[in-house]
Amino acid sequence: MFENFRRTIIWGIAFIAGSIIASGALVYWLFLKLDGEAVKIALDRDTIHSNSQLIEGLANIKSTASETGKYKQALDTLLPAKDELVNFSGWLDGLSRARNVSESFSFQGNAVESSKSEAGYVGFSLDASGAYDNLIDFLKDVEFRAPRYLVGFDSFDIKRDGSGYRVSVRGKVFFR
């Protein structure tokens, strides 16, 4: 009977120990599983957040799309079409006569075509001579006061030429 009691105690202790080990392994496995699910949930939450920001951005773009028409129209009035650049040399000629400056103008190289995000341009070369003040006023008018053209100077060189001055300009005129 004592032997039977001892065997029952050992089996009971073994059963309790086995149950504790099995329960511990189950809890550990559940912990790992829950941790993996928590990581997945965090990634899904980040994805949902970034997607909602994208949708919000698209909604903002769509709401401002009607306003962009106004800006496009303003840019169209500021920038001439490429084929309207043929009038640029005539405009320069009239301006040079108004400023008492003699000028020689030519387009240089091939035009860089416009895209949806950038204006096109064509390079030019401009040589002008006259009194210093007249040349400065002429250049200011060309670069800053052109009514229909957007002009940028890349380089210019001014030299004394007898009683007057001579300027050589390289630049770009932009078109849509």
Contact between residue 92 and residue 126 where contact means Cβ atoms under 8 Å apart: yes
Instruction: Please identify which residue in the block is written with the tokens 């032997």.
Output: 3
pLDDT at residue 146 is higher than 80? no
Both 102 and 171 in one domain: the answer is yes
First-last CA distance in the chain: 107
pLDDT digits (tens, 9 = 90+) for 102-123: 888 888 888 788 777 788 888 8
| Number of domains forming the structure of the chain | 2
State the residue range of the domain holding 48.
1-78
| 40 & 65 share domain | yes
Q: Residue 175's closest CA among 81, 90, 83, 54?
A: 81
CA–CA separation, 97 and 94 (whole Å): 5
pTM of this prediction? Answer: 0.55
Same domain membership, residue 68 and residue 101: no
- Supply the mean pLDDT for the chain: 83
Q: Is there a single domain that holds both residue 57 and residue 101?
A: no
The reply to whether 121 and 156 lie within a common domain is yes
Tell me: do 129 and 115 sit in the same domain. Answer: yes
